[in-house]
Chains A and B, each alone.
Chain A
Amino acid sequence: MSSKEFLELILPIKQKIFRLSKRLLTSTEEAEDATQEILIKAWNKNTKLKSYNSIEAMMMTMTKNYCLDRLKSKQASNLRIVHTNYTNRENLEKQTEDRDNLSWVEKIVSELPEAQKMIIQLREIEELEFEEIAQIMQMSETNVRVTLSRARKTIKEKMSKISNYGIA
């Protein structure tokens, strides 16, 4: 496979990689750097790539592992702290009034544990089947469902808290 063919093949995957990285690393620049790294890593494994589906799952698993490593390293955790500071207490009240504000959902999702965050990303945004998510996450399908349900319920609870607070 030539590098041009490879880049064309992974054209749709690279945006998925970017979105998953951004979900985990929060910053756009970090996510772009991560995507670049994953593309090079996958390209170096070139000979082992067979079907499109297996490439996608493999690259998404690589993304997951790479981003979790980044988060573990001190540098990235400093970045994360900086970037989650965006909703401070001063504008909390203002945002509560505007219940349509989507940034609330973003904030709630960003507070979920990493595994829940990733499964929310893969299911709600990438709309993947449980089988594919299980492959990417290297978990059983049942486990994916349980984690997803837990994440959805947490989001629901936090959202109704906000909406009740807004009414009161």
Chain B
Amino acid sequence: MELHNINELLDKYFDGKTTLAEEKQLKAYFSSDDVAPELAQFKPLFGYYTIEQKSETQKIFKLNKKSNKQWLWAAATVVIMIGIGLTVLQKNPNQPEQLGTFDNPEIAYQEAQKAFQLIAENLNKGKQNIKYLEEFENSKNRIFQP
């Protein structure tokens, strides 16, 4: 193709006004061996696009997903929880006086101790993670000596 045609096409191209057919002409021209030296700078541009068209993945894709089953499990769990909740709620009004009352103060005291112990243990478990922060403090003190 003549050089001035190519120049005209290039101007149109950069204005976004070329058709697909014209763009194919440009790609063909720039992949040929006799590109005008003043236009040689565009050779890699069109060359790159042509090569990228061949980029493909070989990965085999699947349509079933694990999380579908996970959703089923989640839904089942919710249903069971609601079931348990409803049974408990229905039973409660009949025997409200049995909720956490003790006749013997000694037993009540022991039970309360047990409950506090449980809370304290769990609190300590949570606190263990804070120990890592001490390490940070140590390093900090090493760098910025107090």
A residues contacting B by CB (< 8 A) are 3, 6-7, 14-15, 18-19, 22, 28, 31-32, 35-36, 39-40, 43, 99-102, 104-106, 109, 123-127, 129, 145-146, 148-149, 152-153, 155-156, 159-160, 163
Contacts and interface: CB of A to CB of B under 8 A. Distances in A.
Interface residues of B, number: 29
A7 B17 CA distance: 36
B132 interface: no
Given A18-B56, A149-B14, A149-B15, A36 B42 contact: no
Interface in B1-29: 13-17, 20, 23-24
Nearest to B58: A32
B16 A149 contact: yes
Given A14-B57, A40-B63, A102-B51, 15 more contacts: A6-B63, A7-B63, A15-B56, A18-B55, A18-B56, A22-B55, A31-B57, A32-B59, A43-B63, A99-B40, A105-B47, A125-B53, A127-B20, A152-B13, A163-B41
B144 interface: no
A28 B57 contact: yes
Given A15-B56, A159-B45, A129 B16 contact: no
Contacts of B45: 105, 155-156, 159
